């Protein structure tokens, strides 16, 4: 899968829309069901990661930054990557509002611009099913993770 071909995938244009990015979090996690899903996701993530204080964590496909902010509040040194600059703008704003430090970068999950084993933990939630080549993305997650990769693939 070439970088150009992956950029033609529907998810890149959908999530690049600034209007969609601004309302994404409310539409996805608003209301009682969304809050239940978000709360469950946070608890599961906390249990899987364990002690995160001081760990380096990469959140791939951060979107509005939900997982990145949660991990940063727990003391992790978080880098968050997304293909959409519009979604990153929302995530950056939320980090400022929360008073947490997260390094946000634009990037492609198919070709992460990091060294092998650069992060203690790599997280990729609700992303792989939106990528043109989930196997390549998963290989990249494993390449840059030293200890642990946490991902899901809801259907």
**Which pLDDT belongs to residue 123?**
94
Q: pTM score, two decimals?
A: 0.79
pLDDT 10s digits, 85-106:
998 999 999 999 999 999 999 9
* 149/14 Cα distance (integer angstroms): 26
Q: Is the pLDDT score of 3 beyond 60?
A: no
Question: What structural domains and CATH numbers belong to the chain?
Answer: 3-151 (3.40.50.150)
More confident residue, 48 or 75: 75
Residue 4 banded pLDDT, cuts 50, 70, 90: very low
pLDDT value for 155: 64
Strands (E), the chain: 56-60, 77-82, 102-106, 119-124, 145-151
Model confidence pLDDT, tens digit, residues 36-57: 776 777 777 777 667 788 999 9
Residue indicated by tokens 């992060």: 119
């Amino acid at each position: 899968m070439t970088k150009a071909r992956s950029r033609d995938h529907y998810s890149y244009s959908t999530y690049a829309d600034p209007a969609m990015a601004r309302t994404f979090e409310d539409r996805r996690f608003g209301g009682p069901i969304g809050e239940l899903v978000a709360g469950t996701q946070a608890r599961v993530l906390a249990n899987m990661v364990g002690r995160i204080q001081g760990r380096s964590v990469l959140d791939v496909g951060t979107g509005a930054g939900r997982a990145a902010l949660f991990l940063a509040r727990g003391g992790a040194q978080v880098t968050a990557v997304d293909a959409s600059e519009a979604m990153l703008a929302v995530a950056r704003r939320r980090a400022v509002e929360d008073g947490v430090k997260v390094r946000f970068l634009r990037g492609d999950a198919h070709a992460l611009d990091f060294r092998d084993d650069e992060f203690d933990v790599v997280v990729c939630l609700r992303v792989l099913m939106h990528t043109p080549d989930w196997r390549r993305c998963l290989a990249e997650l494993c390449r840059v993770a030293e200890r642990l990769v946490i991902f899901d693939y809801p259907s």
